[in-house]
Amino acid sequence: MEFFPASFSIFYQFGNAFAFLVISCAGLAVIFGMMGIINLAHGEFIMCGAYVTASTARAGLPLPLAILCGTLTAALVGMVLERTIIRHLYHRPLDSIIATWGISLIATQAVLILLGPTMSGTGTPLGSMEVGERSYSIYRLALFASAVGLLGGLYLLFYRTRFGVIARATIQRPEMARALGVDTRRVYGLTFGLGAGLAGLAGGLYAPTMTMVPTMGATFIVESFVTVVVGGADIFVGAAPAAAILAVIKAALTAWYGQLFGQIGLLVAVIVVIRVMPGGLSAFIKRWQR
């Protein structure tokens, strides 16, 4: 096999796994990292984004706009839920797990009853390209670019904007932020909305490649939780490198031993990480930096 096609194939498989991990975990990582809430309804926000994206795209909207619609709808739903339910559970992490799990069950069943067991999706755009003897889906490369863009965008948002400064201040020292005149409740609401919106974005981006069913969120859950657990509380020094490392593990094991071992590899990685560095990669890296 030629060198370029072979290395492109490896890059493609890695990029594909990396994109899936980053995109599916971003919303979860923001909500967990910034607010300490473990959002078990994460998959249902993804499903919400995917359903809105698919239905608006089928109604004739161009796909990027449809994805935007899905993202905004999920963000809006997230903010409403934060206002009505999550807000009252900020200092009760276990209760918030139960509450978000309940939301997820209700959402799945409600969609099943209202919209039926399945919905027609939209086809994958952009077609395929040939490298060497194999053909690759161009949309998959676009997903990789989106994952990188997503990390860059979040970095800019949290480290280069006023909202980012206030949000980080609120997370680190809520009392101090309040004393300086920050409306921390509003910041929490916006942050939860951001996390839900990112989940919606994940749904929107993957909607054209997947089957649209009420339980589709569940297929993202394992990967996103694994990434957040391995990464720890910080999305940039945690989730992003965790996604890169896990993508290598998953892509390599899947390539050599098949899908089952790819899955096993991910879970073994989590067990090892929890045992060796309980705070995840981010706590480990931060301690090492000091």
Partner 1 sequence: MKKNPNRHLMTAMLISTCIAALPALAQDGPIKIGVLEDQSGDFAAATNVKVHAIELATKEINDAGGIDGRTIELVIYDTQSDNRRYQEFMRRVLQQDQVDVVFAGFSSASREAYRPIVNQFDGLAFYNNQYEGGVCDANMIVTGAVPEQQFSTLIPWMMEEYGPNVYTLAADYNFGQISAEWVRQIVDEQGGNMVGEEFIPLGVSQFSQTIQNIQESDADFVVTLLVGAAQASYYEQANSSNVDLPMASSVNVGQGYEHKRFTPPSLAQMHVTTNYIEEIDTPASNDFVERFRAMFPDEPYINQEAANSYIGINLYKQMVERAGSTDHDEIRAVLGEGDVCFDGPSGNVCLDPQSQHMSHTIYLAKVEEDHSISFPEVWENIEPYWLGDAGCDLTQNDPSAQYTPSNPPPAQ
Binding site for partner 1 (CB under 8 A): 9, 12-13, 16-17, 20, 108-109, 112, 116-124, 126-128, 133-137, 139-140, 208-216, 218-219, 251, 254-255, 258-260, 262-263
Q: Which is nearer to partner 1, 118 or 172 (CB)?
A: 118
Nearest-approach distance from CB 233 to partner 1, in angstroms: 26
Taking the complex as a whole, the smallest distance from the CB of residue 99 to partner 1 amounts, in Å, to 21
Residue number with CB closer to partner 1 (134 or 173): 134
Q: Token match 């949000």: residue?
A: 167
Least distance in angstroms from the C-beta of 124 to partner 1: 4
Q: Which is nearer to partner 1, 184 or 219 (CB)?
A: 219
Q: How far is the CB of 184 from partner 1 (least distance, A)?
A: 38
If the CB atoms of residues 39 and 254 are measured against partner 1, the closer one turns out to be: 254
Q: What is the DSSP string of the chain?
A: --HHHHHHHHHHHHHHHHHHHHHHHHHHHHHHHHH----TTHHHHHHHHHHHHHHHHHTT--HHHHHHHHHHHHHHHHHHHHHHTGGGGTT-HHHHHHHHHHHHHHHHHHHHHHH-S-B------S-EEEETTEEEEHHHHHHHHHHHHHHHHHHHHHHHSHHHHHHHHHHH-HHHHHHTT--HHHHHHHHHHHHHHHHHHHHHHHGGGS-B-TTTTHHHHHHHHHHHHHH-S-IIIIIHHHHHHHHHHHHHHHHHH-HHHHHHHHHHHHHHHHHH-TTHHHHHHHHHH-
Q: How far is the CB of 100 from partner 1 (least distance, A)?
A: 20
Instruction: Report, in Å, the least distance between residue 137 CB and partner 1.
Output: 4
